[in-house]
Structure 1
Amino acid sequence: MNKLEDLRTRREAAHRRLLALKSRTYRSFLDMERATYADGALTKKHKELVAIGISVVIDCESCMQWHIEQAATAGASFQEVLEAVEVGIEMGGGPATVSARFALEVMDSIFTGQPPATTPDN
């Protein structure tokens, strides 16, 4: 099992376990998550892009994987996700470039078969 599959498997297992344990705190977290990512002044897609940048800065691999997947499902393009990662790099400085490497691996797994978009300075 590769790292991305392992992260997903572990996240899903923990989710099922916390639900089975009837964790009120976890249920409250899920309610907050639903409210947070619901369309409002910002769409779900845009909120997920914000979360990607934050995930890069805090170096949370599971977060990067989840929010990149969610952004793609919400209609984000490879280029939009890349720019969110770039915002994270800028906000986090040098250490965020290490996180960005993992985000690129996730992007490659989600956007398979799509040629990477070019940026104006390429």
Structure 2
Amino acid sequence: MDDKDREKIEKIIDDRKRAHSYFMNKSKVYRSFVDMEQKTYSDGALEKKYKELIAIGISIIMNCESCLEWHIKQALDSGATEEQIIEAIEVGIEMGGGPATVSSRFALKVLDYYRDKK
């Protein structure tokens, strides 16, 4: 991974943290969203890890780099393996066709970023 990719991912992380802090203090709607997110990704019939893998596939189709950074990190923290994340990316590619391969390239950079941080 080159420095430019690392900087891009770290900027996404910093921007998210800054916005999260601001909106948690200023927005009831945002706090409601965070509450919904926490309930959505808690263990139920599906463990959190599997819900995060689903979100990775959806993020590929949406081409949401910030979503990919968040959900890959959450999947790793929930015990997902690199192989499981790759398969989630592959599902996104299949569902999204050619344009999804662009998102998958960024997803691999994020996976590299967190692998390198270990």
Q: Which amino acid aligns with 1:2?
A: E
Aligned length: 113
Partner SS, residue 76 of structure 1: coil
5, 10, 25: which is aligned to 2:10? Answer: 5
Could you say what secondary structure the match of 1:38 adopts? coil
The CA deviation string for residues 79-103 of structure 1, in whole angstroms up to 9 with x for no partner, is 0000000000000000000000000
Q: Percent same amino acid among aligned pairs?
A: 55
State the one-letter code of the partner of 2:20. Answer: H
Matched, 1:102 2:106: yes
Q: Look up the match of 1:24.
A: 28
> Considering only aligned residues, what root-mean-square deviation do their CA atoms show, in Å?
1.4
Larger radius of gyration: 1
- CA deviations 1:60-111 (Å, max 9, x no partner) are 0000000000000000000000000000000000000000000000001112
Unpaired stretches in structure 2, ≥5 consecutive residues: 1-5
Mark the CA change 1:36 to 1:5 in structure 2 (over 3 Å): closer, same or farther: same
TM-score normalised per structure 1 = 0.89
Unaligned 5+ residue runs, structure 1? 115-122
